[in-house]
Amino acid sequence: MIIQKPLKSKRLVLRSLGAADIGNSYLRWLCDAEIIKYLEVRHTKPSVRQIKRYVKDCNQSENICLAGIFLSKEGTHIGNIKIGPIDWRNRRGEIGILVGEKKYHGKGLALEALNRFASFCFQKLKLHKITAGCYGSNLASVNLFHRGGFQIEGIRPDHWHLGKEWETGVLFGRKRSISRKANNRKKTAGPSR
């Protein structure tokens, strides 16, 4: 699925990726053991050709929306965010995020991207719920989803195999906010009798 109009936030632009966006930097992220420690891509040896095919498949899909995360001032591609597969009948999808450029870790950019993309998913795609999952020991992701308004919906003990250990899976969900109109009605309704 292509994002027709780039999504802008204070410091970022989120937009669909094209072939020109896929190069050595993107490949470097997917070959960096520290970056992909908690990603299933760590079990593969990606190539630029494979990444281009993946991006093309996402762009052509009706059930996946992949966006690059770019710094608005410099135009630097620092990561990606994706929703999919989307279950249109139940209006929900699984979100994933990667900030591949390490020098931008810890600056609040992942949260900024997550919140802007979630707004797009709720407002433009009309999703009711966004879900996410991560390893329990991936504290950066656990904290990101908490700060992004996600609630823990489940814990899966011994769900992932990481190195020689078994890892807990943490499942998150965030529902579409109550509309302002409905919220205003609640505020002005007065006490119930």
Tokens of 10: 């204070």
Domains and CATH numbers, the chain: 7-129 (3.40.630.30)
Provide the residue-wise pLDDT of the chain in tens; the chain has 193 residues.
Answer: 999 999 999 999 999 999 999 988 889 999 888 888 888 787 788 889 999 999 999 999 999 999 999 999 999 999 999 999 999 999 999 999 999 999 999 999 999 999 999 999 999 999 999 999 999 999 999 999 999 999 999 999 999 888 899 999 999 999 998 544 443 444 444 444 3
Report how far apart, in Å, the C-alpha atoms of 158 and of each of 24, 137, 143, 144 are. 35, 12, 20, 22
Instruction: Tell me which residue has tokens 């609630």.
Output: 151
pLDDT for 27: 92
pLDDT for 35: 87
Long-range contacts of 18-23 (CB under 8 A, 24+ apart): 18/55, 19/52, 19/55, 19/56, 21/55, 21/68, 21/77, 22/48, 22/51, 22/52, 22/55, 23/48
